[in-house]
Amino acid sequence: MRKTKNLFNMNSIPFLLLAVIHLGIFIILLKHKKPKDMWMLLFSNIGFAFLFEYPTLNLFHGYRYKPSIMKKPIFDSILGAIFSQAFYVPITAAFLSLNNKNWKWKFSFSFFYYCVEKLFLQLNIYKVSWWKPIYTLVLLNVYFFVSDGFYKAISNKRRWAMGIAHYLAIEVVWITLMYVSAMKGFIRFGRGYIHTWTEHFKIIPVYSLILSFIAAITSSKDGLFYRVLLPFIHIIMDITLVKMEILKVKIKPFLVTGPRYLLMTFISRFFYKTIYKK
């Protein structure tokens, strides 16, 4: 199990202060007159942010977070990414889209995050390699406008948008669960006999995205066959990866991790029924 440090320290406090600010924004979102649209947009925004984070952080290591909460640096950096891409930015994007804020609001928030990034660099709780804060300023504006367009599509019940929202909601939950499973030491991906955590976080998003895609398809179908099909495919995939020495699963906690084969079936079906319910 990955042990944690003291939650409140000089590195973590700025991250936690931002979390409190965004919690306030989230509470405002909860009062939205169309809660289903709000949740669909929020999960979708988190999903889009996760897709962006995979190449920039996991694959090419453009930056590294240092909230100093987890003892393992790789887990600490991923936790910082979760703060940023699953909480701060998606909540802000949803707030702007749901309240129909104009470009001035979007630029103001993107400039705020640009300043936060510069401050975090000064505080040495955030490191960059090839990434530059100006990229954040530019790309966040793009992200906010994508959020606007996607919100209009799901509000108008466009079939393609609802399908993407369904997939991204599954992806968000599954990637989060896989992070927790790795943090507890239950699973680890890699190549060869020794599996590094850097390799793990390059492989696990692809694994989760593939399973989420299969879950989105099977959960959109009625009948017991499709409820059984997903866990069957999941088990076969895991057995194959274990045989190829790409996946390591600890036997003792299997009673804890084993139910994940059924969990994804129920989660994906729940999202499907919720999203497509008239």
Residue 257 in this model has a pLDDT that exceeds 70: no
Residue 178 in this model has a pLDDT that exceeds 80: yes
- Taking only the tens place, the pLDDT of each residue in 181-200 is 888 878 888 887 677 888 99
- Taking only the tens place, the pLDDT of each residue in 13-22 is 999 999 999 9
Ranking 23-32, 78-87, 164-173, 252-261 by mean pLDDT, the lowest is 252-261
| Range with the largest mean pLDDT of 25-39, 153-167, 191-205 | 153-167
Using an 8 Å Cβ cutoff, are 148 and 174 in contact? Answer: no
Q: Return all residues near 40 (Cβ < 8 A) that are at least 6 apart.
A: 154, 162, 165, 169, 275
Maximum Cα–Cα distance for the chain, whole Å?
56
Q: Is 244 helix (H, G, I), strand (E, B) or coil?
A: coil
Using an 8 Å Cβ cutoff, are 86 and 19 in contact? Answer: no
Tokens of 278: 């008239």
Question: Which of 94, 110, 264 has its CA nearest to residue 181?
Answer: 264
* pTM, rounded to two decimals: 0.93
How confident is the model at residue 166, as a pLDDT? 97
- Taking only the tens place, the pLDDT of each residue in 147-164 is 999 999 999 999 999 999
Phi and psi for 128 in degrees, rounded to 5?
-125, 150
Q: How many C-beta atoms surround the C-beta of residue 174 within 10 A?
A: 23
